[in-house]
Amino acid sequence: MEKFVINGGRRLEGSIKVDGSKNAALPIILGALMIPKGESVIRNVPPLRDIFTAIKVMEFVGAKVSYDPKICVMTVDASNITENTAPYELMRQMRASFLVLGPLLVRCGEARVSLPGGCSLGSRPVDYHIKAFGDLGAEISEEAGFVIAKASKLRGGMVYFDRPSHTGTENILYGAITAKEQTIITNAACDPEIIDVAKFLNASGARISGAGSPTIVVEPVSELKAVDYTISGDRLVAGTLMMGAAITGGKVEVSGLDPDWMSIVCLKLLEMGCDVSTTDSSITVTGPSDQNKLYPVNITTFPYPGFPTDLQACIMAVSCIASGTSYIRETVFVDRFVHTMELRRLGADVAVSGAEAVIQGVKELTGAAIMAPDIRAGAGLVLACLAAKGTSELLRIYHVDRGYYRLEEKFNQLGADIKRMQS
Ligand code: EPU
């Protein structure tokens, strides 16, 4: 296993372009299983552990996949789907694999998908996906840890999510595309990745309107065709790098994404005393050089366009050295505070009660040995180590590698001192 050895206290400065978005790439490459003929080309696919897990799932069901991580280009030929089952061994590695349910059901008329695994973010049910496929006309049952969905052709219809579900919305989009009738998804997730998925599907012949809003309308088409599509930049990697500027009093320009996706994150960094400026495709964050000028913040995580739960650990790391008391309320995954124990080992003063964290800013963090509990918590801890005095060791970085391609190289390019070593 590998670890990061991080010498903290260096100011980050420079420009960096983000990779393609993991949370857009996963549904798009799995969505390519919907295309019954020809070879699709998907560009800007980031070389992450989760992408390689998705490739295993796709190959298991019979798709021909080639991927060149050097140029981030993947080709998918799903002409010959031979298997309608996604086994536990593959599903347990990544929750997003549940996105295979829609494509397999549409292609095979029956899908048997093991209930998923993934990050431990408390209870992460898939009941919305299951109910919504039922609303589209699928016959659903559960057997020995598998969800079994059957429908020779889905009907379409009205789907309502009790709360916006990111992958739930994507899964239902797949189901709706070739259904018999129109589908209207109400209270859909509005994340930029949903827009990316809809653009990909529309480029392959689907008729989806309203993606990015809470109401999505899908007019049925008979079949999708092969496509050449480029995935958008990763807003979560961007947010992590922006907070690197905030926590080290540095100046970082991130490019390769639409700054509008980061509005709330920019607003919160402004409230904390950072300077933020944008162009059409980049954001520059300058952190206050005097730590006393890093102000505390109140955050409530919320589905997009609210503050992303995926950047909660990162902003908590920044708030650990702010001059005053910050409050963070987690409303998306209420158990998502696993990083607080590790932050305390670095000297942070964080108290958690239920879904709320109170962070009393300290003068400085100090290096320690800690471990990454999941992808985004791991990224937050890297940030804390960048600010900490002395040397830190971050263990279990395989979690970080699931969502960030060589995060240490990105930070080192900006002036950090992070070494990847065997632990
Ligand atoms: N929920 C249910 N039932 C469901 C589905 C969701 O109760 O059937 C609840 C969840 O428990 C949660 C809320 O609804 O409380 C929202 O969950 P959502 O379905 O939106 O999450 P997801 O689709 O499983 C995606 C991202 C996560 C990100 C969340 C929230 C992908 C592959 N994953 O997960 O990303 O945290 O949306 O934005 O897109 C990550 O990248 O590290 C990551 C965990």
Q: What is the pLDDT of residue 340?
A: 97
For residues 411-416, average pLDDT = 98
Amino acid at 294: L
Q: What is the pLDDT of residue 119?
A: 47
pLDDT tens for each residue of 378-394: 999 999 999 999 999 99
Ligand 1 atom nearest to CA at 167: 23
Contact between 10 and 408 (Cβ < 8 Å): no
Please give all residues whose beta carbon lies within 6 A of any atom in ligand 1, as ranges: 23, 26, 95-96, 119, 124-129, 163, 165-168, 189, 309-310, 332-333, 375-376, 403
Q: What is the pLDDT of residue 122?
A: 53
Which tokens is 42 given? 């998907």
Flag whether pLDDT at 331 surpasses 50: yes
Q: What is the pLDDT of residue 170?
A: 98
Q: What is the pLDDT of residue 115?
A: 86
Q: What is the pLDDT of residue 121?
A: 46
Contact between 228 and 43 (Cβ < 8 Å): yes
16-26 burial: b if 16+ Cβ within 10 Å, else e: bebbbbbbbbb
For residues 47-70, average pLDDT = 96
pLDDT confidence bin for 117, thresholds 50/70/90: low
Terminal Cα-to-Cα distance of the chain (whole angstroms): 6
The residue nearest atom 31 of ligand 1, judged by CA position, is 23
For residues 14-21, average pLDDT = 98
For residues 154-182, average pLDDT = 97
Q: What is the pLDDT of residue 116?
A: 76
List active site positions. 119
Q: State the distance from the centre of ligand 1 to the C-alpha of 123, rounded, in angstroms.
A: 10
Quote the pTM value.
Answer: 0.96
Cα 389 to Cα 380: distance, rounded to the nearest angstrom: 16
For residues 240-249, average pLDDT = 98
Q: At what angle do helices 101-108 and 166-177 cross, to 10 degrees?
A: 10
